[in-house]
């Protein structure tokens, strides 16, 4: 009888700066925003049958809710910028008296 021993080669980690492998899933928020736009345009152009609209609408609403949760709102970003300390406005110069 021969006995086989299985040894694994030490795993080497890929550098963090390396691009994702071609087979790895890669989905970004921008991809989801594009998908939302595609659903919107498709529904406006009548690409879905009436029986399909309920599922498409529910999916669109879930996608929209997710995007609203992960995308910073512009108002909040502007509010944070305005909340930063500001210098007082310069006093207005008075017009010379005649």
What's residue 73's pLDDT? 76
Residues 6+ apart with CB under 8 A from 39: 56, 59, 60, 63
Predicted TM-score (pTM) of the model is 0.52
CA 31 to CA 68: how far, in whole Å? 14
What's residue 71's pLDDT? 87
Contact 42, 48 (CB under 8 A): yes
What are 39-79's pLDDT values in tens digits? 999 999 999 999 999 999 999 999 999 999 998 877 665 66
Sign of CA dihedral 90, 95, 96, 97: negative
What's residue 5's pLDDT? 55
Q: Mean pLDDT over all residues of the chain?
A: 75
What's residue 76's pLDDT? 65
The domains of the chain are located at 29-71
For the cut 80, the answer to whether the pLDDT of residue 86 exceeds it is no
């Amino acid at each position: 009888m021969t006995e086989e021993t299985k040894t694994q080669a030490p795993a080497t980690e890929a550098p963090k700066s390396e691009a994702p492998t071609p087979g790895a899933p890669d989905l970004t928020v921008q991809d989801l925003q594009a998908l939302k736009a595609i659903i919107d345009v498709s529904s406006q152009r009548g690409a879905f049958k009436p029986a399909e609209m309920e599922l498409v609408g529910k999916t669109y609403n879930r996608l929209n809710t997710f995007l609203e949760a992960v995308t910073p709102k512009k108002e909040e970003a502007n509010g944070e910028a305005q909340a930063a300390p500001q210098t007082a406005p310069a006093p207005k110069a008075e017009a010379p008296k005649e």
